Amino acid sequence: MVKSGKPNQISLKSHAQMALMRRSGKLVSEALAICRAMAVPGTSLINLDSAVEQHFVSHGAVPLFKGYPGKVPYPGSTCLSVNEQVVHGLPGPRVLQEGDLLKIDTACRLDGWCADAAVTIPVGAVSSGKERLCRVTEEVLQLAIKELAAGLKRRGLWSEVARKMQLHAEASGFRMVTQYVGHGIGESMHEPPQVPNYYDRETVDHDFRLVPGLVLAVEPMVNMGVAQTKVLRDHWTVVTRDGLPSAHVEHTLGLMADGVWVITSDRDDEIVT
């Protein structure tokens, strides 16, 4: 989500509430799996968006991106960002081509509880650079989950996790995007706290402790070239300043006494300890 200056008034969730979030998380994970199977050369972005929307609606869930407030309300149920597009790419008639790097981001609410996740998918065979970018970005998210589990045990700070995420991206020769952050999630898709994927003064000033009941949407965005981004004139699509590719992955993660619940996992009841 877009960074803002709002204060951190964090709401903690009960075991029962997190169990409800797992149900919306499962729908999000299934929607992403449907897209993964459809993401071949020749598929249009709008078809992916329709498939996701239909999956949510047919299961009684609400797509959360549709109508999201902005300069113009968000028009789709997914963000579909290709190659140099970082996040918030609009579903339209564009047709996927062999070699594209596609980011799919979506969220739904079921019975009052939200889940949000994103994947990066290579379309057909992609360049080795794109493949490595994709792998490293996935590693950054897995690292965050492991560090969250470790930090939860010692009631550590988010900034320690963020620092390790940034270091891994940079040690791999890539740059972490700092203009967008992850977020708390629960009855609303965007709740405090802001969850930056990097370590700086602001991260430390808005730091929070890792305690049971926290639910975070962690969403690293990693650029092959410069970190800087800009928004296109459609008011939504975020692209890299240098036109080089970007990757983005996201999971909704619940901190509980028994470990980190991967709420949007494709495996049932995944817990990382």
The residues binding ligand MF3 (CB under 6 A) are 1, 65, 68, 74, 79, 88, 105, 116, 183, 219, 250
Instruction: Please check whether residue 201 is in contact with residue 178, taking contact to mean a CB–CB distance below 8 angstroms.
Output: no
Least distance (Å) between residue 119 CB and Co ion: 13
In whole angstroms, the minimum distance from the beta carbon of 69 to ligand MF3 comes to: 8
Q: Which residues contact 197 (CB under 8 A, 6 or more apart)?
A: 140, 144, 162, 165, 166, 176, 177, 178, 181, 182, 218, 219, 220, 221
217 binds Co ion (CB under 5 A): yes
84 binds, among Co ion, ligand MF3, none (CB under 5 to 8 A by kind): none
Q: Looking at the chain, how many residues does it have?
A: 273
Contacts of 128 (CB under 8 A, 6+ apart): none
* Smallest distance from ligand MF3 to CB 171, Å: 26
Per CB under 5 A, which region of 15-23, 38-46, 66-74, 110-118 contacts Co ion? 110-118
In this structure, the number of other CB atoms found within 10 A of the CB of residue 242 comes to 13
Residue nearest to ligand MF3 (CB): 1
Q: Give Cα separations from 168 to 171, 210, 218, 219 (angstroms).
A: 5, 21, 15, 15
Taking the complex as a whole, the smallest distance from the CB of residue 250 to Co ion amounts, in Å, to: 5
Nearer to Co ion, 118 or 224 (CB): 118
Whichever of 142 and 188 has its CB closer to Co ion, that residue is: 188
Which of 53, 116, 147, 191 is in the footprint of Co ion by CB under 5 A?
116
Query: Which entry of ligand MF3, Co ion, none binds 68, CB below 5 to 8 A by partner kind?
Result: ligand MF3
Both tokens assigned to 273: 């300890």
Determine, following the binding rule CB under 5 A, whether residue 53 of this chain makes contact with Co ion: no
Q: Say how many residues touch Co ion, by CB under 5 A.
A: 2
Rounded to whole angstroms, how far apart are CA atoms 61 and 118? 18
Residue entry with tokens 């996935």 = 138
* Binding partner at 74 among ligand MF3, Co ion, none, C-beta below 5 to 8 Å by kind: ligand MF3
Bridge-partner residues for 255, per DSSP? Answer: 260
Minimum separation from the CB atom of position 246 to Co ion (A): 15
267 torsion bin: left (phi>0), alpha (psi -120 to 50), beta (else):
beta
Closest CB to Co ion among 100 and 116?
116
How far apart CA 181 and CA 158 sit, in angstroms, is: 13
Residue 87 and residue 129: Cα distance in Å, rounded? 19
Please report how close the Cβ of residue 98 comes to ligand MF3 at its closest, in angstroms.
27
The verdict on 144 binding Co ion (CB under 5 A) reads no
Other C-beta atoms lying within 10 Å of the C-beta of residue 41: 12
- Of 116 and 147, nearer to Co ion (C-beta) is 116
The Cβ-side half-sphere exposure at 225, using a 13 Å CA radius, reads 14
Given the rule CB under 5 A, which residues bind Co ion?
Answer: 116, 217
